[in-house]
Structures are given as C-alpha cells and as structure tokens.
Structure 1
Amino acid sequence: MAKIERYQKNEKLSRIVVHNGTIYLSGLTADDKEADTTGQTRQILRKADALLNSVGADRSQLLFAQIWLKDVEDFDAMNKAWVDWLDGAEPPARATVGASFALPEILVEIQLTAAS
C-alpha cells in the first residue's frame, strides 16, 4: 500500500495530503474575509502557493481545482484573479459552482489537487 502523508493537521482535517504521487489541498478560504471576491481569491491563491511549496510542488503541477462562490455573479471577478495567478502556467481541469457557506463573510473557497 502506498504511503499516505498528512501535513498541517488537526482533529478535523489535514491541510495537505500526499498519496501515490498526488497532492490534495483542503478547501482554502481567505484570512481577511472583509475583502471582496477578487481580494479573497488572491489571498487563497497565495496560501495555495505556500502550501504547494511546502511539499516541493508549485502551480504548474495542478491537476484539478474545485471553486465555490457565494455569488455566481462574482465569477468574472474570481476568474480575473485566477488567470492572473496562473500567469501562463497550464490550467488544470476545473469546476466552479455556487454555494452557501457556514460563515456569511466567506465569498470563495478553493480546493486543489496537484501532481507531486
């Protein structure tokens, strides 16, 4: 059986799981939840960079992204930050859906899967 590595874990979740050559990041939200959708997306993507780097990966290795938006009308605002962040890197497969969140100030959440 392939080894499962779990990082930055608590009683609820592991922020990063690495298994069989694949990196799974938990859903990420912004720390400053007063920011607009673009600002929250940028914060999340900076956090994703740090998490991927912590296990020796980067955004060029992304396989899949799941994005949840509180308001689907913010799709273009989120997409602007997303495309800027990719900065020419090959884009992963992706799904974006509307969602309600436990905290009303969360406008976007992103979960990523990458190759290690």
Structure 2
Amino acid sequence: MPVETLTPASLFPPIGPYSHIAKAGPFITLSGTPGVDPATGDFAGPDAYSQSRQIVRNFRAMLAAAGASLTDAMQVHVYLKRVEDFAEMNRGFAEEFGGHQPARTVIVVADLPKQGALMTMDLTAHVSG
C-alpha cells in the first residue's frame, strides 16, 4: 500500500524536510506539531494551555485534510519541556478533544527544535471504511 504525504496549505510549513501528514490505507500519522497558530505563524500563547489547545486544533485541520477527525485518533505522544505544565497541557488537550480520549504518552524532554515551544505532540489515527 503506497504512502501518501501532504502538508495542508492552511497550515504553517514544516521546519524541516518532512510532511505534516503521512497516510497509508486506513492509517494516518501526524508529525510532531508545536502550538503555532497558522493564521499568524506565532505561538497561540506563551503558556501550556494555549499551546496545547492550538496543537489539537492543528491536528483537527490535518486530520480533515486526510479525510479523518479527532474521533479517529488512536494514540497521541506529548513531548513536554516542563513537567509543571502537565496540568495546563491536560486542560487544553481535554477541552479540544472533548469526550474522545485516545491512548496517550507524555514524555518530559530537555528541549525542542522550535524555539519558544513548551511542547510538541504527534498523533496516530485509523479511519475505517
């Protein structure tokens, strides 16, 4: 099964040689994504809550471009710079995902490539039919 890669024009460009989305059959993988607002190119805010909400909003747009939605999300990896941001990341994440709760792993990391990012997340989804 061929792998299709794409980066929606409505999102910010990747900061490296990769695509935002890879899709093979019913599986969709979204690359590590910081909390950048595509309308401004800046972070949605200086705090974990704002950046977390924006990441999930970006996921929503990426999944829609691949013919999916947040309810198709199976797994999310969160790479958090400061463990003390865990509660606010959770708050933004939960508000945007609503009742859908995919499997999730949170890892605290020393740094991230995008300066100013408090976190990045990636996502795996499955679309049936």
Please confirm whether the aligned pair reaches a TM-score higher than 0.5, indicating the same fold: yes
Cα distance, 1:104 vs structure 2: 4.1
Taking a change above 3 Å as real, the CA distance of residues 103 and 50 of structure 1, as seen in their structure-2 partners, is: closer
Structure 1 counterpart of 2:17, from 1, 12, 17: 12
Give the superposed CA RMSD.
Answer: 1.7
Query: What are the within-5 Å matches in structure 2 for residues 93-112 of structure 1?
Result: 93-99=103-109, 100-112=111-123
TM-score (norm 2): 0.81
* Unmatched tracts of structure 2, length 5 or more: 8-12, 37-41
Indicate conservation of the 8 Å contact 2:29/2:125, yes or no: yes
If the length of structure 1 is used for normalisation, what is the TM-score? 0.90
Q: In the comparison of the two structures, how many residue pairs are matched?
A: 114
Runs of 4 or more above 2 Å deviation: 32-35
Q: Of Structure 1 and Structure 2, which has the larger fraction of its residues in strand?
A: 1
CA offsets per residue over residues 23-66 of structure 1, 9 Å max, x none? 00000002233521100111111111000011110010111100
- Where in structure 2 are the equivalents of 1:1-116 lying within 5 Å? 2-8=1-7, 12-31=17-36, 32-33=42-43, 34-89=45-100, 91-99=101-109, 100-116=111-127
Q: Which runs of 5+ in 1 are unaligned?
A: none
CA deviation profile, 1:5-28 (whole Å, cap 9, x unmatched): 111287710110001310000000
Equivalent pairs: percent with the same residue? 30
